[in-house]
């Protein structure tokens, strides 16, 4: 396949950046999207040019590192996949492909397609954990019976890989789906109840402080989430937050 | 509880509560207006009651005005905040792949509704306030000096829908109201945390409400307009 890539190039956080066009020839439909970018980068290196910087790690859809807005969609046109699982067979010969970084004030661009997602880390630090006594008398988590539905729902929420596709897809750059998944995975389990009030208040406060937008329930985040995190989590977080606020 | 309205979820909750309140008001407004089609006398009686009963005038009307202003102001505040959350836009953004047009354009349908509200207030509410509270005429009669001149409400309604342009403006506004409600109705429930086994049914009901009520208002406007010109 022959393709035209239009890639966002930005030298550093201070650079204004621009879209640069790169023609690609003989692209195999069996290549993954990142392999196609690897080929482009090798060509650029061979020509003595700066390769395109992009985040990637496991390349099997579980680390949440790859983060590209491909042809107007987070992680590209396929559903329930990260961009490393996207293959060139999803495109056709002659296509023009726009490749951009996540766009959100809370996710500033570091270089080219790499954005700083440490805002998510700070939200997690604000309450996305349970405090466990590690003095030697720690109770085995499996000794507390949990009904199957709650365990499964909590596990579904816990599959969030924190890639940021929800923020990138949301027209308001809202981080509600991410935060709600992290709140839900604990809110549904007895181990998470002790710190439930502080957790949701602190995580939402941190989310707001980071400059993410307000959720307007468009549902774009749920559609683009590579792990299928449901909007039900946002409703649960709303309930948790409102109840925690009234409790004080 | 402190600072709930300064948080993103608190604002969303307040926006949803005002929306739910306005949707109940809209249903009540429609229920009264449709009477003008079937029974002008009943419409007059109910309108007079609504326009003179102190609980409605001095307790519910201020709450309604506050609800309307709050919903619009909060809508603009959220829009400004959300624009700040993404200062650099995408060169290519395929929003249609993951969300509905109506959900992405609530601000535009809202602005049309705001323009309509201004027209509607100039047409009905301001003259009503003027007659009752400036001129001091609480009789509701066409001629306050003639006891059997009959109530003025139906006459005023019919008179307004004589004009083609106004009738078209009202109908177009109701289309935008339907678009706004198509997303707003079930979105309000999600915002207050209600997403459960009833959500599927609620979404179906929301479509009936969102299309049915504005369509009913269009019917009323066209009915009175066509009755006069045909």
> Which of A75, A95, A201, A245 would best serve as a mutation to test chain B binding (most B beta carbons within 10 A)?
A245
End-to-end CA distance of chain B: 59
Judge whether B129 and B57 are in contact, CB under 8 Å. no
What CA–CA distances, in Å, run from A189 to A121, A148, A149, A248?
Answer: 22, 11, 11, 22
- The yes-or-no verdict on residue A104 having pLDDT over 80 is yes
Any idea where the domains of chain A sit in the sequence? 3-111, 117-247
Cβ-Cβ contacts under 8 Å, B89 against chain A: 103
- In this predicted structure, what is the pLDDT of residue B4? 75
pLDDT digits (tens, 9 = 90+) for B169-221: 999 999 999 999 999 999 999 999 998 889 999 999 999 999 999 999 999 99
How far off is chain B from A18, nearest CA to CA, in Å?
10
- In this predicted structure, what is the pLDDT of residue A248? 67
- The yes-or-no verdict on residue A175 having pLDDT over 70 is yes
- In this predicted structure, what is the pLDDT of residue B2? 52
SS (H, E, C) chain B: CCCHHHCHHHHHHHHHHHHHHHHHHHHHHHHHHCHHHHCHHHHHHHHHHHHHCHHHHHHHHHHHHHHHHHHHHHHHHHHHHHHHCCCCCCCCCCHHHCCCHHHHCHHHHHHHHHHHHHHHHHHHHHHHHHHHHHCCCCCCECCCCCCCCCECHHHHHHHHCCCHHHHHHHHHHHHHHHHHHHHHHHHHHHHCCCCCCCHHHHHHHHHHHHHHHHHHHHHHHHHHHHHHHC
Give the mean pLDDT of A9-34.
Answer: 97
Do A3-111 and A117-247 show the same overall fold? no
Cβ-Cβ contacts under 8 Å, B94 against chain A: 71-73
Determine, for residues A216 and B7 on separate chains, whether the beta-carbon distance falls below 8 Å.
no
- The yes-or-no verdict on residue B69 having pLDDT over 60 is yes
Determine, for residues B97 and A246 on separate chains, whether the beta-carbon distance falls below 8 Å.
no
Q: Name the pLDDT band for A152 (thresholds 50, 70, 90).
A: very high
CA distance linking residue A37 with residue A52, whole number of Å: 8
- In this predicted structure, what is the pLDDT of residue A135? 80
Judge whether B98 and A71 are in contact, CB under 8 Å. no
Q: Which CATH superfamily is domain A3-111 in?
A: Beta-grasp domain (3.10.20.30)
Determine, for residues B91 and A98 on separate chains, whether the beta-carbon distance falls below 8 Å.
yes
Q: Name the pLDDT band for B168 (thresholds 50, 70, 90).
A: very high
pLDDT digits (tens, 9 = 90+) for A93-103: 999 999 999 99
* B194 in contact with A, Cβ within 8 Å: yes
* A91 in contact with B, Cβ within 8 Å: no
Determine, for residues B81 and A236 on separate chains, whether the beta-carbon distance falls below 8 Å.
no
How far off is chain A from B43, nearest CA to CA, in Å?
38
- In this predicted structure, what is the pLDDT of residue B147? 85
pLDDT digits (tens, 9 = 90+) for B19-47: 999 999 999 999 999 999 999 999 999 99
Determine, for residues A173 and B86 on separate chains, whether the beta-carbon distance falls below 8 Å.
yes
Q: Name the pLDDT band for A143 (thresholds 50, 70, 90).
A: confident
Mean pLDDT of chain A: 96
Determine, for residues B100 and A218 on separate chains, whether the beta-carbon distance falls below 8 Å.
yes
Q: Which CATH number fits domain B2-229: 1.10.8, 3.30.70, 1.10.3290, 1.20.1300?
A: 1.20.1300
- In this predicted structure, what is the pLDDT of residue A132? 83
* B107 in contact with A, Cβ within 8 Å: no
- In this predicted structure, what is the pLDDT of residue B230? 84
With 0.90 as the threshold, say if the pTM is over it: yes
pLDDT digits (tens, 9 = 90+) for B78-120: 999 999 999 999 999 999 999 999 999 999 999 999 999 999 9
Give the mean pLDDT of B157-165.
Answer: 95
Judge whether A108 and A116 are in contact, CB under 8 Å. yes
Q: Name the pLDDT band for A142 (thresholds 50, 70, 90).
A: confident
Q: Name the pLDDT band for A137 (thresholds 50, 70, 90).
A: confident
Fold adopted by A117-247? Fumarate Reductase Iron-sulfur Protein; Chain B, domain 2 (1.10.1060)
- In this predicted structure, what is the pLDDT of residue B85? 98
Instruction: Name the residue of chain A whose CA is nearest to B81's CA.
Output: A213
Any idea where the domains of chain B sit in the sequence? 2-229
Determine, for residues A217 and B86 on separate chains, whether the beta-carbon distance falls below 8 Å.
no
Cβ-Cβ contacts under 8 Å, B7 against chain A: 204-205, 208, 241, 245
Give the mean pLDDT of A130-154.
Answer: 87
Q: What is the largest CA-CA distance in chain A?
A: 64
Determine, for residues A103 and B89 on separate chains, whether the beta-carbon distance falls below 8 Å.
yes
Highest mean pLDDT among A136-140, B10-14, B144-148: B10-14
- How many pairs of residues across A and B have Cβ atoms under 8 Å apart? 141
How far off is chain B from A147, nearest CA to CA, in Å?
18
Mean pLDDT of chain B: 95
* B101 in contact with A, Cβ within 8 Å: no
> Which of B99, B182, B189, B203 would best serve as a mutation to test chain A binding (most A beta carbons within 10 A)?
B99
Determine, for residues B193 and A238 on separate chains, whether the beta-carbon distance falls below 8 Å.
yes
pLDDT digits (tens, 9 = 90+) for A192-237: 999 999 999 999 999 999 999 999 999 999 999 999 999 999 999 9
CA atoms within 13 A on the CB side of B148: 0
């Amino acid at each position: 396949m022959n393709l035209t890539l239009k890639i966002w190039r930005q030298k550093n956080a201070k650079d204004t950046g621009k879209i640069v066009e790169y023609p690609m020839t003989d692209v195999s439909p069996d290549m993954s999207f990142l392999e196609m970018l690897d080929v482009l980068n090798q060509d650029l290196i061979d020509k003595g040019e700066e390769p395109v910087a992009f985040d990637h790690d496991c390349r099997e859809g579980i680390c949440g590192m790859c983060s590209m807005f491909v042809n107007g969609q987070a992680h590209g046109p396929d559903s329930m996949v990260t961009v490393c699982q996207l293959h060139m067979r999803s495109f056709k010969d002659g296509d023009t492909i726009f490749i951009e970084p996540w766009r959100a004030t809370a996710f500033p661009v570091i270089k080219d397609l790499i954005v700083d997602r440490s805002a998510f880390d700070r939200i997690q630090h604000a309450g996305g954990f349970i405090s466990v006594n590690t003095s030697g008398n720690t109770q085995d988590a499996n000794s507390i019976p949990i009904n199957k539905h709650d365990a499964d729902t909590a596990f579904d929420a816990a599959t969030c890989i924190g890639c940021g596709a929800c923020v990138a897809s949301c027209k308001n750059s809202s981080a509600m789906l991410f935060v709600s998944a992290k709140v839900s995975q604990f809110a549904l389990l007895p181990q998470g109840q002790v710190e439930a009030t502080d957790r949701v208040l602190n995580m939402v406060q941190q989310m707001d402080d980071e400059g993410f937008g307000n959720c307007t329930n468009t549902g774009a985040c749920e559609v683009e989430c590579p792990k299928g995190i449901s909007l039900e989590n946002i409703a649960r977080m709303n309930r948790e937050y409102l109840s925690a606020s009234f409790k004080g | 509880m402190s600072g709930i309205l300064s948080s993103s979820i608190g604002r969303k909750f307040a926006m949803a509560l005002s929306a739910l309140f306005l949707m109940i008001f809209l249903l009540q407004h429609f229920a009264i207006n449709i009477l003008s089609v079937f029974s002008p006398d009943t419409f007059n009686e109910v309108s007079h009651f609504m326009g003179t009963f102190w609980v409605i005038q001095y307790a519910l009307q201020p709450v309604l005005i506050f609800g309307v202003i709050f919903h619009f102001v909060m809508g603009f505040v959220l829009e400004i905040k959300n624009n700040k959350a993404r200062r650099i836009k995408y060169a290519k953004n395929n929003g249609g792949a993951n969300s509905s047009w109506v959900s992405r354009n609530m601000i535009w349908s809202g602005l049309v509704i705001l323009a309509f509200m201004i027209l509607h207030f100039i047409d009905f509410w301001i003259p009503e306030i003027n007659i009752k509270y400036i001129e001091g005429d609480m009789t509701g009669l066409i001629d306050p000096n003639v006891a059997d001149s009959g109530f003025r409400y139906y006459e005023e309604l019919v008179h307004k829908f004589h004009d083609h342009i106004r009738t078209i403006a009202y109908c177009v506004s109701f289309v935008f109201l339907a678009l706004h409600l198509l997303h707003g109705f079930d979105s309000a429930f999600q915002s207050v945390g209600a997403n459960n086994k009833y959500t599927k049914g609620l979404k179906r009901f929301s479509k009936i409400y969102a299309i049915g009520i504005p369509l009913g208002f269009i019917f009323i406007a066209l009915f009175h307009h066509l009755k006069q010109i045909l």
